[in-house]
Amino acid sequence: MQTVVSTTTQPTGPNLAALPTYSEDIWHHMSDALHQSIYRVLTLLIAVLPGILAFFVALVIFAVAGAAISWILRRCLTWVKFDLRIARKGGTDWAPTTSPTELLARVSFWTCVLLGLIIGVSAFDTSYSTGTALPISLLPYLTHAVGAALLLVAGILIARFLARSVLISAVNAQLQYARFLSLGVKWLVLVLTAAMVLDHLEVGGNIVELAFGILFGGIVLTLSLAVGLGSRDLVSRSLESRVEHNNERAHIPEEPAGAGSSIRHF
Amino acid sequence: MATANPIPDETSVADQAAADLVVFVTAMPAEQFKGLLINLEAAFPAGSTLVASQNPLPADVATHLRIIQTPQANPLWMFKPGDFIEAAQCGSDYGTKAILMLGPGADSLGTPALRDLADTVLSVSIDLAVPYYALAPHAGLINSAILYPLTRAVFASRVRFPLPIDLGLSPRMAQRLAGVAQRIAASGQDDSLVWPVNEAVAAGFIVDQVDAGSRTMPQPSDQDVNSILALVTGSLFADIEEKAALWQRPRRAPPIRKATTEAPDSDGTADVARMVAAFRLATDNLQEIWSLVLPPNSLLMLKRCSVLDATEFRMPDNLWARIVYDFLIAYRLRTMNRGHLLGALIPLYLAWVAGHINTIASGTPAERHIEAVAAAFEADKPYLVARWRWPDRFNS
């Protein structure tokens, strides 16, 4: 009997000895790419870092200078009795926090801070544009961002002012939904402000404009319908009484307009 | 003084003769002016009195009074700054010893009242004679709630109507008021009010009160309490702020003639429930705004008042005094927009009115309650002075 000895022979497919070489190449390329990108970013940071440092140094120096100038100005004006001289001329008694001396001191401080900010931003931009080959300059976007921030602040202040005006007027008109009306006005203004800020930052493009237009127009249309349909009698009576009031303007009334009430506030 | 001479150049020599008394009559409807001329003719002898009028002389009126025309104006419910300038100019041009300023509705003033106003200045050498009107209990409420108590406490003046519609002035008082009016006109605030009593106290002039009986009070064309309160109270607050250096000194109120005329009875009902409801609505919605102005204990007392029934509603006198003082401080400090501030005061004022009407209905005479309120203002004046000087501290 013959013993069949099976022997294992090497397969005839690809050469596995080459696989480690391919994986080493891939890893090598990957690490090269990573190293290069890290290098680029670090280079950019190194180029920008002095500018950032210059920005903060300028801001701090001018803020300190502003504080010093403000203190000196306050002392000098107090010594020459500036508030008293102004009060004598204008006949007004000033509150301590809003006296002319205090106002001038604050204006001088914030002027120095603003100057420091401008110089710092300018130094940052110079450093950035000379230290890198990237064509993008950060300064225009920074100014847009500052403008957007100012828009936001102004919008919030206007929203709060209008909300308070509407609240007080509605309460004095004895409208039960005074708070709701005030909140509605506040949010309308805030939504408008947000849309303006996003537009200023060139974020979202047409989508933001379209969304805002639909939202705002819808709210205004809803309010118009609600007021117009719900209070058309009141509006027409109010218009009629206004026309009568204008015709009788030369006549000084001696009795109050409200029938049945004997209260005269004056 | 005024840069333009309001007296037309074509007046005759007789008209330019001196007069002891000039009666300056502001614009009013023709019927009122006719009635006033009749009363003036009965009150003052011919020859010594000159009437300077912003109204055209009615064709069907024959009078022995000397009448001169001043520039015509639209009738208003209160003296304008220009009226004081014209009155002082007339007094100066004719070398008068007294000037009587009469506002719309002055035809309802009796002859004795007109004579007393003039004689007080002519004979007794008073600089400012202010009438005491006998009004119904539900009339002149802003004056009762705010103007009189605040003027009495701050300026130590017991004049019951510190913003009158008729005045008796000495020449120097007229010049003083004209100077103030010129300053107001120069700043472009033609709607501002001039406060004669405050000016007299500031100048150290002598003020007296004259019983004028009942009078028809002209009302503003816009009778909404929102606009009246904001205008009158805001003007008084501004005047107090301007004279801060004067009223912070301790001073005693000089004696003043007490009125003898009885006030007429209440002339109808008032909707107290509506005013209390307005106050409750404000308590629910304006807490955040009131908390910027009022201290916590005042807010707590207001909350307690808001749960009272409308028929039993009262606002304590010392609470009302503190509220007015706190709003005055907030006006000075510009804690918030001044229009908002005065708008937030309106529901509190209506609450006081509701309490006042309930007090009258319970049998207390109106004048007694008003005097009690004024006394509360006087008692709390140290609080006002302390907060004026140290605004950041809420004194309990």
ipTM of the complex: 0.84
What's residue A180's pLDDT?
A: 83
Domains of chain A: 35-136 (no CATH), 137-243 (1.10.287)
Q: What is the pLDDT of residue B50?
A: 86
Query: Cβ A174–B229 below 8 Å, yes or no?
Result: no
Least-confidence region, from A227-231, B13-17, B282-286: B13-17
pLDDT band of residue B351 (cuts 50, 70, 90) is very high
CB atoms A95 and B333 under 8 Å: yes
Single out the residue of A206, A167, A209 nearest to residue A191, CA to CA.
A209
Kindly report, residue by residue over B64-110, the tens digit of the pLDDT.
778 888 877 666 778 888 899 999 998 898 888 899 999 988 889 88
Of the given ranges (A117-131, B28-42, B353-367, B378-392), which has the lowest mean pLDDT?
Answer: A117-131
pLDDT of residue A66: 94
Instruction: Give the span between the Cα atoms of B164 and B106, in whole angstroms.
Output: 12
pLDDT at B345 over 80: yes
Q: Is B63 helix (H, G, I), strand (E, B) or coil?
A: coil
Band of residue B11 on the pLDDT scale cut at 50, 70, 90: very low
Q: List chain B domain ranges.
A: 21-247, 272-389
> For residue range B375-384, what is the model confidence (pLDDT) as tens digits?
999 999 999 9
From chain A, the residues in CB contact with B218 under 8 A are 252-254
Chain B environment of A83 (Cβ under 8 Å):
none
Q: Any chain B CB within 8 A of the CB of A93? A: yes
Residues of A in contact with B162 (CB under 8 A): none
The predicted model gives B221-236 an average pLDDT of: 85
Mean pLDDT of A153-181: 91
- What number of other Cβ atoms are within 10 A of residue B328's Cβ? 23
Which band of pLDDT confidence, cut at 50, 70 and 90, is reported for residue B188? Answer: confident
Determine the pLDDT at residue A209: 82
Instruction: Please report the residues numbered 55 through 74 in chain A whose beta carbons come closer than 8 angstroms to any beta carbon of chain B.
Output: none
In this prediction, residue A16 carries a pLDDT of 55
A176 interaction partners in chain B (CB closer than 8 Å): 281
pLDDT for A2 beyond 70: no
Contacts of B281 in chain A (CB under 8 A): 171, 174, 176, 178
Q: Can you say how many angstroms the Cα of residue B68 is from the centroid of all Cα atoms in its chain?
A: 28
Average pLDDT over chain A reads 77
Most A CBs within 10 Å, among B77, B144, B223, to test the A interface = B223
Residues of B in contact with A265 (CB under 8 A): 141-142, 223, 225, 228-229, 353
| Least confident residue range of A228-237, A253-262, B34-43 | A253-262
Of B360, B350, B28, B58, the closest CA to residue B217 belongs to B28
Predicted local confidence at residue B257, as pLDDT: 64
CB contact under 8 A, B75 and A254: no
CB-based contacts of B120-126 (< 8 A; 24+ apart in sequence): B120/B168, B120/B208, B120/B210, B121/B97, B121/B168, B121/B169, B121/B170, B122/B20, B122/B21, B122/B97, B122/B98, B124/B208, B125/B170, B125/B206, B126/B168, B126/B170, B126/B206, B126/B207, B126/B208
Element (H, E) at B100: strand B98-102
Tokens of B221: 């064309």
Q: Note the pTM of the prediction, 2 decimals.
A: 0.78
Nearest-CA neighbor of A118 among A137, A141, A143?
Answer: A143
Do B332 and A262 count as a contact with CB atoms less than 8 A apart?
no
pLDDT at A119: 86
Question: In angstroms, what separates the C-alpha of A37 from chain B's closest C-alpha?
Answer: 55
Å from B181 to nearest chain A CA?
Answer: 14
Tell me the average pLDDT across A124-140: 59
Residue numbers in B near A245 (CB within 8 A): 221
CATH code of B21-247, in short, is 3.90.550.10
pLDDT given at position A255: 45
The pLDDT value given to residue A124:
76
> Residue A111 above 70 pLDDT?
yes
CA–CA dist A237, B68 (Å, integer)? 44
Residue in this structure with the two tokens 């001018």, named with its chain if needed: A62
- What confidence tens digit (pLDDT) does each residue in A184-227 have? 889 889 988 998 998 888 887 788 888 888 888 887 887 777 66
Does position A257 have pLDDT exceeding 50, yes or no?
no
CB contact under 8 A, A95 and B391: yes
pLDDT at residue B353 above 90? yes
Which alpha helices (H) appear in A132-205, and where do they start and end?
138-172, 178-200
Residues 162-181 of A with CB under 8 A from B: 164-165, 167-169, 171-172, 174, 176, 178-179
